[in-house]
Amino acid sequence: MFKYDSTHGRYSGEVKAEDGKLIVDDNVISVFQCMKPAEIPWGDAGALYVVESTGVFLSIDKASSHLQGGAKRVVVSAPSPDAPMFVMGVNEDKYDPSSMTIVSNASCTTNCLAPLAKVIHDNFGIQEALMVSEIIYYHLQTTVHAYTATQKTVDGPSAKAWRDGRGAHQNIIPASTGAAKAVGKVIPELNGKLTGMAFRVPVADVSVVDLTCRLSRPASYADIKEAVRKASEGPLKGILGYTEDAVVSSDFMGDPHSSIFDADAGISLNDNFVKLISCSEYNAFWRCVQAGATYLFVQLCKMLFLATFFPTWEGGAGVYDFVGEFMKATVDLADLLGLHLVMSRNAGKGEYKIMVAAMGWATAELIMSRLFVHVFVLGSWTALLVKAVLTGSISLCSLFLYIMLVHSN
């Protein structure tokens, strides 16, 4: 199932199993078969961060079993009843590495809804809102799913709800959703102001969130589009997408954004009452199994790493803050290259060599920068100059390496 995908097609690389290991191209991946997370030898495998995607071990108590096997942090890929919940671009700055070893990445629908809700609430205020979402392919309780792995291919009994047992490919099935309520956890100002429902519809991939809200401050639909566009190009770049094209759901397949605002699909009744449409490719969950982690999980794990090992340095009126920023830029470089390999699905040896070289360069640059700030006493102007040089060099090197990567085939 790694090599053949009914939605995304056949993987073009080499996939095989040898000596209990999964080998994808030149990558050797350890595979374990354990009923209990505590029995998985994460420490022996060198795994620091575990993405818990079974949908079974959702609570802190259950997910913490991974720590017994040697893992240091656990990211739950679904809403958790008690673990802190984070949505990238919305509230990741609230993460506390000293106390939060188990965190939830919320649901797929929450990741689609929350960035859009944040932009609207920050700019215009949301008095109250209703959400209808349409999704595809996994079990999350927050969407208008097309069909999911838990649904029936033909009519049959369902223990949870009678309608859930009807044929997934033949019906539009109303369902409950917790995405709107989950938004209240990541944006406390909206707690109690949102509710919603879901439909499971007969498509294999891509989902839609329909957000109808009453604004606190009047705004034309053009004003709303402009606010979302600016956010997609600024603080939420890479998380919130924006399009004015006349697209349909399948056009979003393979898009790594948490949420893509469909500017041409929304409408407004007046300057206080609007309907907004945003899309997301929820089938990315299965590509998570294929690639090792989805883009969002990579982002969240990257945030955990930075917050744990490289918190913002304080001292000298912020003179040394650039070291933390440099580390972030270094990890961003790794993210850029790694994401290209994942999304292209045809990475060759040449591309991996480029990535290894890039990581070697970034590591050497980091060591030099850290030695520099420890050995020399920097004045504010000197620090700013060094910061500018380091930022500029990593940006130019990132561009150069990415161009090499794109043309390596």
What's the confidence (pLDDT) of residue 359? 57
What's the confidence (pLDDT) of residue 294? 45
The answer to whether residue 292 is domain-embedded is no
Counted domains in the chain: 3
- Per DSSP bridges, beta strands 259-262 and 240-243 are parallel
Structure tokens at 174: 């109303």
Query: For the purposes of burial, counting CB atoms within 10 Å of the CB of 98, is it exposed (0-12), middle (13-18) or buried (19 or more)?
Result: exposed
Residue range of the domain that includes 30: 4-104
The answer to whether residue 265 is domain-embedded is yes
Same-domain status, 128 and 79: no
- CATH code of 28's domain: 3.40.50.720
Same-domain status, 99 and 123: no
Please, what's the b/e burial string for 299-322 (b: 16 or more CB within 10 A of its CB; e: otherwise)? bbbbbbbbbbebeeeeeeeebbbb
Same-domain status, 167 and 242: yes
The answer to whether residue 84 is domain-embedded is yes
The answer to whether residue 180 is domain-embedded is yes
- CATH code of 129's domain: 3.30.360.10
The answer to whether residue 221 is domain-embedded is yes
Among 104, 131, 150, which residue terminates a domain?
A: 104
108 catalytic per annotation: yes
The answer to whether residue 172 is domain-embedded is yes
Same-domain status, 389 and 262: no
Q: What share of the chain is helix, strand, coil (3-state, %, to 5)?
A: 40, 20, 40
Same-domain status, 262 and 335: no
Structure tokens at 320: 């040394």
The one catalytic residue among 34, 108, 288, 301: 108
The answer to whether residue 23 is domain-embedded is yes
Same-domain status, 96 and 200: no
What's the confidence (pLDDT) of residue 100? 92
Same-domain status, 117 and 229: yes
What's the confidence (pLDDT) of residue 241? 96
Among 104, 137, 155, which residue terminates a domain?
A: 104
CA atoms within 13 A of residue 59's CA, in its CB half-sphere: 3
What's the confidence (pLDDT) of residue 3? 86
The answer to whether residue 17 is domain-embedded is yes
386's CB contacts (< 8 A; 6+ apart) are 322, 369, 372, 373, 378
Same-domain status, 113 and 262: yes
Same-domain status, 53 and 193: no
Same-domain status, 333 and 372: yes
CB atoms within 10 A of CB 215: 22
Q: Across the 409 residues of the chain, what is the mean pLDDT of every consecutive 10-residue run?
A: 83 89 90 92 91 92 95 92 93 89 90 94 92 46 57 81 85 83 90 87 86 95 98 94 94 90 96 93 46 49 62 42 54 55 48 56 55 48 64 64 57
What's the confidence (pLDDT) of residue 128? 87
Same-domain status, 145 and 272: yes
Same-domain status, 347 and 385: yes
Between helix 349-375 and helix 321-344 the angle, nearest 10°, is 180
Among 51, 85, 104, which residue terminates a domain?
A: 104
